[in-house]
Structure 1
């Protein structure tokens, strides 16, 4: 998972995004799903077709929401959903922002994550909140 996390946050281009999605086939861990779901949604950034943009978003959202329903206390699922919501256009009505922000803030200290990754999570939430 440390490699999945690092690779996810390093994605800048469409080629990197597609390579990340393909590489997820080789990761045998269910906790990769929030990252994969977000990557599927991010494909919308690289297409000009509105219908295709919406399909990428819906597909990724479904994967992410299924993961969170099955793992409601997983901080990474909530963190990734929060990042997606902070970056999604408001007309998509994808808004659990306050709930997810509160969950992450409440649980980050006790999460089974490295101190460095906790800092990355908090930095990214703050960065996207202050846009």
Structure 2
């Protein structure tokens, strides 16, 4: 067990690392920027269509799920590249599984977007 004393200042400083991670993600990850653009479109459309509170929860939840999946995928890929700079079939499996998590989250986001937006746009 860690015997360091709890420090509010240290907890506040730890946010700096998290925000730096977000900055690195959006600056260095092409897919992150694509997801950010899609999220902005979804949020603007949500305001325009005046969606309900529960629809906002659904939209923001799937946006967050996609970002979390993509950030973890990126982190895992970077770690795998350090662990095994050369091609390794097991590292390929790990990377493919992480990419599959992003794909599942993105499919869910598209499905929720259809459920929320299509009736308001076309019906």
How does the TM-score come out when normalised to structure 1? 0.32
Higher helix fraction (1 or 2): 2
Rg larger in 1 or in 2?
Answer: 2
Query: More relative contact order in 1 or in 2 (CA 8 Å, sep 6+)?
Result: 2
How does the TM-score come out when normalised to structure 2? 0.34
